[in-house]
Amino acid sequence: MGFLHEGHLSLVRKSKELCDVTIVSIFVNPTQFAPTEDLEKYPADIKGDIKLLIDEGVDYLFIPETKQIYTKNFQTFINVEELSKILEGQFRPTHFRGVTTIVNILFNCTNPDYAFFGQKDIQQVIVIKRMVKDLKLRIRLVICPIVREPDGLALSSRNIYLSENERKDAPILHQSIISAKKMINAGEKRTAIIIAEMNSIINSVSTSNLDYINIVEAESFEIVNELKPGNEYYILIACKIGSTRLIDNESIKIN
């Protein structure tokens, strides 16, 4: 959605590594924002974005106008039923319907062999992965690692909204994940115990207002009560720091 940072550029570099031609689309998608969310003030710097993409050697840049994507009397939406209801879907009920619709439209416009997404929005990736599978789309999804600031904060276009004090507090999300991983590696398998400790860490900063912490099975995205050997999971957080809503996650494999 533009206002590019190193996280976005890491996707570009992975595409250039694997593909002959790299296309970047930039489109701030109105259908994935609720009326109370930040569509109107979503950060933008299209000239800066274009310069960054030229410097990275991108072959094509696709920047459609809203009226080209959502023509008059637009009525057709794609919804991944169950995965879109949980976690982020509970807090942003219309979000994933907008995501899957625009991603499918962009796929149809560009006809890619590969599509590159960042792990930071992991539920979004899982929802898109399910759409690709269910609709028999001949596209290979590549999930690229989260890119972080030196203090652990996951890169996000929304980080620009953080005040100086809030920016100091924001790495608490990643710190709680690190603590959870240490507990798991030490043998703790009960997710309620792990989540309680993460809650305590996040609540230690006054600017935090937690939406959720959950641990889910990586493929099904089902919330679990106990971690089992041989399985892979995601530790998920959504939390407001001040008025800015941030998300973070980490994958972990249980030995």
Active site residues: 8
CA distance 43 to 28: 10
Find the distance separating the first CA and the last CA of the chain, reported in whole Å.
37
**CA–CA dist 132, 103 (Å, integer):** 10
Q: Which amino acid, 39?
A: L
The CA distance from 124 to 140, in Å, is: 15
Letter for the amino acid at 250? E
**Distance between CA atoms of residues 4 and 52, nearest Å:** 8
Pairing mode, if any, of strands 114-118 and 140-144?
Answer: parallel
Alpha helices in the chain (DSSP H): 6-18, 46-55, 66-69, 88-91, 95-110, 122-134, 164-169, 172-185, 191-202
